[in-house]
A and B are shown apart, each in its own frame.
Chain A
Amino acid sequence: MLSDNPGLDFTLSSLSFTFQIGFIVLAIAYFIFALIIIRQINLMTETVTTEVASLLKILSLVLGLLSLGVVIWFIRLI
């Protein structure tokens, strides 16, 4: 990745850093979205009780944990 041109290297690393920050912001937004999904599924399963209600709740929790893991992982990658 590194070139003989220090100016270009600086630009590339700045750009890379900017993208990484952007990805972290997106991952945090996704985590918030996952929390909303957990709340949404609670609301939905309170409204209509079906056989798969508990499965959906577990899946939403897994998604929430996964997205939190991604946020932590992205931060550690910087």
Chain B
Amino acid sequence: MALMFPAFLDKPDKISFVDQEEDEVIELFLRRHGITNFPWIVLSILGLFIPALVVFLDQALQINFISKIPEKLALEALVLWYLFIIAFVFESFLSWYFNIYIMTNQQLVDINFRSLLFRDIVTIQYNDIQGVTSQIQGIIRSFFNFGDVLVETAAKNESVDFNDVPKPDQVADRIDDLQKTMKPNAV
């Protein structure tokens, strides 16, 4: 998944986003680390085997319930079950794929799709950034080198989090560098 759908893209040239200015260049394109998809992938794979497991348990425990269900009904239930799994996989993938953090040469953009049809885009100008910190907590995050980047802003006195992004130290560094570029006189 990491190779097919990278979570860390440095200066991608085939990606653009809504409201992007003509002279605005994407410096970093980020989404949550691919390993964060592990739980739903495992759940989906387990889900594929649930019907077989139910049949197996029904026979092993000699309940014989399934043999009493009309074939048509059993088939319909099976089809609905697999449709449910397809929907779960699709939604989980879309939720990961389209929740994006973008660093351009002008601003930070946080794109969230919180529900099926609700889009939330937060932009932060580099001038509004007060501080950037990165943190990697836990064994899995340390092993796969991903974590959170916390961006504190002056404008609204609130912070914006880049959650579970790969190479958070590098991301924080880049934000810092871009901020200095935008404010050449800053110390």
- Chain A residues with CB under 8 Å of chain B are 1, 16, 19-20, 23, 26-27, 30, 33-34, 36-37, 39-41, 43-44, 46-52, 56, 59-60, 63, 66-67, 70, 74, 77
- Look across to chain B and name the residue whose beta carbon is closest to the beta carbon of A33: B87
Task: Provide the bound-state CA to CA distance between A50 and B97, in Å.
Answer: 10
B70 beta carbon closer than 8 Å to chain A? yes
**Which one of B73, B98, B100 lies within 8 Å of A19 (CB-CB)?**
B73
User: Is B18 interfacial (CB-CB < 8 Å)?
Assistant: yes
Task: Please determine whether B121 and A47 come into contact, CB atoms closer than 8 angstroms.
Answer: yes
CB nearest to A41 among chain B residues: B94
Taking a contact as CB atoms under 8 Å apart, the answer to whether B117 and A43 are in contact is yes
Fill in one digit per residue for B80-110: 1 if any A CB lies within 8 Å of its CB, else 0.
1001101100110010001010000000000
Instruction: Identify whether the interface residues of A are mostly helix, strand, loop, or mixed.
Output: helix
Cα–Cα, bound, A43→B111 (Å): 12
Contact B14 A51 (CB under 8 A): yes
**Count of chain B residues with a beta carbon within 8 Å of a chain A beta carbon:** 29
Bound-state CA distance A26–B14 (Å) is 40
Q: Closest approach, in angstroms, between the C-beta of A74 and any C-beta of chain B?
A: 6
Check if B16 sits within 8 Å of A49, measured CB to CB.
yes
A47 lies within 8 A of B119 (CB): yes
Chain A residue nearest to B76 (CB atoms) is A23
Most buried by B among A1, A16, A44: A44
21 of the cross-chain contacts (CB-CB < 8 Å) are A1-B70, A16-B72, A20-B72, A23-B76, A23-B80, A30-B80, A30-B83, A37-B116, A40-B116, A40-B117, A48-B16, A48-B98, A48-B111, A49-B17, A50-B14, A51-B14, A51-B15, A60-B90, A63-B86, A66-B83, A74-B76
Q: Is there contact, CB below 8 Å, between B119 and A23? A: no
Rounded to whole angstroms, the CA-CA distance of A43 and B115 in the bound complex is: 12
Q: Could you tell me the distance between the alpha carbons of A74 and B76 in the complex, rounded to whole angstroms?
A: 7
Question: Are A40 and B73 touching (Cβ within 8 A)?
Answer: no
Q: How far is the CB of B90 from chain A (nearest CB, A)?
A: 7
